[in-house]
Structure 1
Amino acid sequence: MKKPCLLFIFYLFPFAIFGQDVQYNGWLFWSHQQKLKKQWQINSDLQVRSAGQAKFVSNLLARAGLGYKLSDKQTILLGYTYFGSWEKENGELLYEPENRIYQQYQLENKFTKIEITNRLRYEQRFINTADQNVFAQRFRHYIQIQIPLISDAEFKKGLYTSIQNEIFLNVQGKNKINHHLYDQNRVYLGLGYRLSEKIEMESGYLFRYQIQEDQNVRNNILQLLLRTSY
């Protein structure tokens, strides 16, 4: 039993033994799913991230994808992501854009009223920096568990808690990113309210551990989320 426990701890907290940088951020997140005819749907995300102590906007993420439902539980998707980064240096904001193409598979399960979502995402990253243009590929695995606390019988409305974890792995171009297979890990705990089957509002704490070339970054993040589906 000891080995599986150790592997699980490593999966959640891949801490390395060298320089650490602790940061505090805020993320505003809107996630929308638009159902089309038959099995087709459009998924979109918009996210604004602040720099330390909300001094300025450090990242803007806009994502959209076309999805196809293989069944009630399984969906595949092809999409595009724009990721803009701003970093303050010598009093000036430096801008670095990144464009991504991604492929995704999502599996949704329900046990009694508890909802479990597994998502596999494969990304092709086109990163533009002041020094060079970088191409890299990354694999991500995301799992979310929504547990109703006070709700109706079918969990169409009510208070819930959300537990999430996402792992990021560099599978190509890691020598131009951070020289590591392990890129980052995100652990999240939130409290939300489902207004209906179409609207959820949620807030929570997200801890991101990111491995960089010269140091590791610990991000303590307050996240506010609106999730809609029509």
Structure 2
Amino acid sequence: MKPCKVSCALLKCLLLFGFQQSYAQTIEHNGWLFWSHQQKISERWQFSADVQVRTADKSEYVNTLLIRPGIGYKIADNQTVTVGYTYFGTWDKESEHKIYEPEHRIFEQFQIENEIQKTEITNRFRYEQRFLDQNNSKAFAQRFRYYVQAQIPLFTNPLFTKGIYLSVQNELFLNVQGKDQVNNHFFDQNRSYAGPGYRFTENIDLEIGYMFRYQIEKETNMRNNILQVVIKTSF
């Protein structure tokens, strides 16, 4: 089976898994604002940066800030390896006080990009080393993430450098080491997303869509209904 067909099959399976009915005890409604940027340094080297701001339930307050810079090297025209660092800070309200819990990560990833009749397929494999600080107690864990996305042109020019498209994606998270420090489960979470996007130029995309996140926690499972706004730039 060709790689592109494998990607499509995996996308369908993971989306079905992500949107399946789950028996979580907690349901939240959140908003995420996400900016992703890639900056070409040379023919093979590139700098990448993600910044994300998230809200608590019903957008009561901002409770998460994520900053993720990385350096990537193209081993082929459609394949990139990247290493980087992630700052992940959360603020949770307890009574009238906010509890700050920082997390620092180192990550390594491998990304493959393919095109099927102008539909852009991205497969990403990411491995994370997580340095957690919870209730003034430090812990270490490692996690594997698999992400697959399809950007499907709807009303665009022939080269898909401008116009409206549909973005569909799924990401699976697995605890490889230190699961007792996280949620006592090998399965960590799954995120499924779909929404329309507009490509202003071949370097700037804007998306607004719905994400469903199902996350296993130590005391209760979490279901998040998320309105996500995504800005993607590359130069």
TM range (shorter): over 0.9
1:79 and 2:98 are equivalent in the alignment: no
Q: What is the CA distance between 1:13 and its match in structure 2?
A: 3.5
> In the alignment, what sits opposite 2:55?
50
The yes-or-no answer on 1:104 pairing with 2:109 is yes
Aligned ranges 1:133-212 → 2 under 5 Å: 133-212=138-217
Deviations 1:101-145 (A, max 9, x none): 000000000011111000000000000112410100000000000
1:207-222 aligned at under 5 Å gives the runs 207-222=212-227
Check the 8 A contact 1:45/1:62 in 2, yes or no.
yes
Across the two proteins, how many residue pairs are aligned to each other?
A: 226
Does the 8 Å CA contact 1:68/1:75 hold for their aligned counterparts?
A: yes
CA distance in 1, matches of 2:169, 2:82: 21
What is the CA deviation profile of residues 56-109 of structure 1, one whole-angstrom value per residue up to 9, with x for unaligned ones?
A: 111000000000001111000000000000000011100000000000000000
Match of 1:195, SS state, is strand
Shift of 1:8: 3.3
Structure 1 stretches lacking a partner, 5+ long: none
Say whether 1:37 aligns with 2:47: no
**2:28: which partner in 1?**
23
Alpha-carbon contact 2:37-2:234 (below 8 Å) kept: yes
Aligned-partner Cα distance in 2 for 1:34–1:13 = 31
Structure 2, unpaired ranges of 5+? 1-8
- Rounded to whole Å, the distance in 1 between the matches of 2:106 and 2:172 is 18
Structure 1's 16 and 181: CA in aligned 2 closer, same or farther, altered over 3 A?
A: farther
Instruction: Assess, with a 3 A threshold, how the Cα gap between structure 1 residues 57 and 17 changes in structure 2: closer, same or farther.
Output: closer
Aligned residue identity for 2:99: L
The letter for the 2-side match of 1:61 is L
**For the aligned residues, what is the CA RMSD?**
2.0
Contact 1:104/1:121, CA 8 A, preserved across alignment: yes
* Aligned counterparts of 1:9 and 1:74: Cα–Cα separation in 2: 22
- Separation in structure 2 between the aligned mates of residue 10 and residue 30 of structure 1, nearest angstrom: 23
The CA deviation at 1:14 is: 8.8
Structure 2 residue aligned with 1:227: 232
Given that 1:76 and 1:105 are in contact with CA atoms closer than 8 Å, whether structure 2 keeps it comes out as yes
Q: 1:195 to 1:188 in 2, by over 3 A?
A: same
- CA–CA distance in 1 between the matches of 2:154 and 2:223? 30
Residue pair 2:15, 2:192 contacting (<8 A) in 1 also: no
- The residue type equivalent to 1:88 in the other structure is K
Matching residue within 125, 129, 132 for 1:124: 129
CA distance in 2, matches of 1:159, 1:51: 30
User: For residues 5-64 of structure 1, what are the alpha-carbon distances to aligned partners after superposition, in whole Å with 9 as ceiling and x for unaligned?
Assistant: 9x9379724979765100000000100000011200001000000001111111000000
- Contact 2:24–2:223 (CA<8 Å) still a contact in 1? no
Aligned twin of 2:5: none
The verdict on how the C-alpha distance between 1:11 and 1:215 changes in structure 2, with shifts beyond 3 A counting, is: farther
User: What is the TM-score when the length of structure 1 is the normalising length?
Assistant: 0.94
